[in-house]
Amino acid sequence: MRRPLTGILILFTALLTATLPAVLHAQSDTIVLRTASSAIALPVLRTDSGSYLPIRTISAFLGADHYENRALKKLEVKFPGTTVKFTAGNAFVVISSTVSRRNKVYQLSLPVLFTPNGYFAPSDELPGLFRITGDSTLTIGEPGTAVPAAPSAAPVVTGLTAEEKKNGTLFRIGLSSPVRDFNRSLQMGDWVYVTLPGVQCDTMAFDTSYASGIIRRVKPVQSETSLQLSLQMRGKVAQTEIVQDPLSNDILLTLIPPEPEAPKAPAVDSAALRRKQNEKARQDVVRSIAKQKQKWKLDVVVIDPGHGGHDPGAIGIIGTREKDITLGISLKLGEMIKKELPDVKVVFTRKTDRFVELYRRGQIANENEGKLFISIHCNSTERKPSSANGFEIYLLRPGKTEDAIRIAEKENDVVKLEKDYEDRYQELTEENFIILTMAQSAYVKQSERFAEMLEETMSAQMEGMRQPVKQAGFYVLVGASMPNVLVESGYLSNVKEERFLRSPAGQQKVATSILNALKGFKNEYEDENR
């Protein structure tokens, strides 16, 4: 099993806490915070980087409620109508309005500090942040003393326009406030990239296609520190120029095409040449039609047996290893597909007992142009034995239940067995989850439909509790750009289900259920796109 894309900050925080005594200074000075009705004296925490104030102490003084996720090192401060979200080791603060349901992102000058005594934020900015979200009468020192200003909101994209000029195309990026250190790339294949540090963007609203002109599509990709606009070109771009509009905050990107080639001398207009040209055009049309038909065939299925090698996965009551069960089910499923669906190519992320990194599993699926990705696993509870039973089917979305989050956490925990995993995997928080799943937005309905059909076929074949389709954040599903599901085939912490899953007959039942769902999905998938 694995842990959602959320556990990576734990190692960072542990290292930070371990070295804390070396960076802290004396806490002899204090400051006084006042509201219209009360006051509090607070110690200032000094570090080599700067001074900090305790987040929880100030927010409690202002009457706010708190919610802490210890595993993720996240702290939520809840004021009436507003929630402020802090993350240890992160300089970005998310303020969510429960009324408008909109988020604002603020960037602190220093990342939030986590110590055994709690969470701390820069002393020059935290009071101002709470003044605009909590009590507007908050002051420092004597009444009437100004509180430091809150950090400014990040620049936000307000519009994208493309205007064709005689000498090229002018692409305008509307911004709510200025941005520094912006840059662009030269053309790389069909793409030109623009990077805007610190800028925020509604990536779904501004993912835009253009019917004409040199720009075919603009795809925004948001990270915590910058926005990248990926511009797909219809033709060649010889030169790019980027400047800030002196009359506004907008960024102006000029795309200049190559100089037109000198016209060639007209070819001899003969009947033979016309016949040759007509035949070539006819063959091009035939090839194009055949290529489009092939595109909409479900002809490649990728089967992903969970765990493997030095990662055994969950261990059952009588010693059954999850990696052996998932491989057994996968190989049986592959053989049945080859026999009953001979026009479907089967690709395995592993066919033997070997370790395959989670990111590599999605790469294998994409490299083989897969049309459906099925990741097979077994479930377990922390306390064994248990009465928990039944299969579960998951889609890639933020977990909505404690059980879904727990299961995804266990499944994702395998990344810690990979080298340099901290740099490879992003934390799947509520704020950046939509960014990582943008590439799969085109496959949501197909993933949901296959999950529904799989639930029906497994319910007909399997014993135990029938579970509705669930959603959680799994690393292994993020990278597969195609319809995908993750199947927890049963509980190894339940003695009856463990015996069922380790038996050849039980594995065959699970594989048959998946095959039956695949048959129905394939017919429906290809009928829709004929």
Q: What's the pLDDT tens digit per position in 98-126?
A: 777 777 777 788 889 999 889 999 988 88
Which tens digits make up the pLDDT trace of 235-256?
898 888 888 887 788 899 999 8
Beta pairing class for 470-472 and 392-396: parallel
Domain boundaries, the chain: 8-140, 157-256, 295-528
Dihedral sign from CA coordinates of 494, 499, 505, 511: positive
Sheet of 39-43, strands arranged across? 39-43, 30-34, 139-140
Look at domain 157-256 and name its CATH class. Answer: mainly beta
- What phi and psi values does residue 234 have, to the nearest 5 degrees? -90, -20
**Torsion over CA of 384, 388, 393 and 397, rounded to 10 degrees?**
-70
CATH homologous superfamily of 8-140: Copper amine oxidase-like, N-terminal domain (3.30.457.10)
Q: Is 527 helix (H, G, I), strand (E, B) or coil?
A: helix
pLDDT at 512 over 90: yes
In angstroms, the CA 71 to CA 10 distance is 7
Fold topology of 295-528: Aminopeptidase (3.40.630)
Q: Which residues pair with 486 in a beta bridge?
A: 375, 394
- Among 181-195, 261-275, 503-517, the range with the most confident prediction by mean pLDDT is 503-517
- 424 versus 143: which is more confidently predicted? 143
In angstroms, the CA 364 to CA 299 distance is 16
Structure confidence at residue 231 (pLDDT): 93
Query: What is the average per-residue pLDDT within 147-154?
Result: 64
Structure confidence at residue 296 (pLDDT): 64
Task: Quote the Cα angle for 141-147-151, to 5°.
Answer: 150
User: If pLDDT is split at 50, 70 and 90, which confidence band does 472 have?
Assistant: very low
Burial label, 133 (beta-carbon count in 10 A; 0-12, 13-18, 19+): buried
